Amino acid sequence: MDYVAALVPPVVMAVAFTALVVTIIKSQGGANKAKEDAIVDAALARAEAARQPSKGTAA
């Protein structure tokens, strides 16, 4: 019975990982894709603007 105890944790992790991947794949696209893409684009634009110093000031 030691082999059963040794195999249970990896099997549980494999099942959990597979469920996670399936959930991620199923959540791609759909009705909210455009809204999510717009939010990410806005966040990237804010991060880029904050990273670059304004052109009017001397460094």
Q: Determine, yes or no, domain membership for 55.
A: no
Establish if 56 belongs to a structural domain. Answer: no
Number of folded domains that form the chain: 1
17 within a domain of the structure (yes/no): yes
In total, the chain counts a number of residues equal to: 59
pTM above 0.85, yes or no: no
Residue at 58 is within a domain: no
User: What is the full DSSP assignment across 3-56?
Assistant: HHHHHHHHHHHHHHHHHHHHHHHHTSSSTTHHHHHHHHHHHHHHHHHHHSPPTT
Domain that holds residue 34: 2-50
Write the pLDDT tens digit of every residue in 7-45: 999 999 999 999 999 998 888 877 778 888 899 999 999
18 is a domain residue: yes
Do the domain assignments include residue 39?
yes
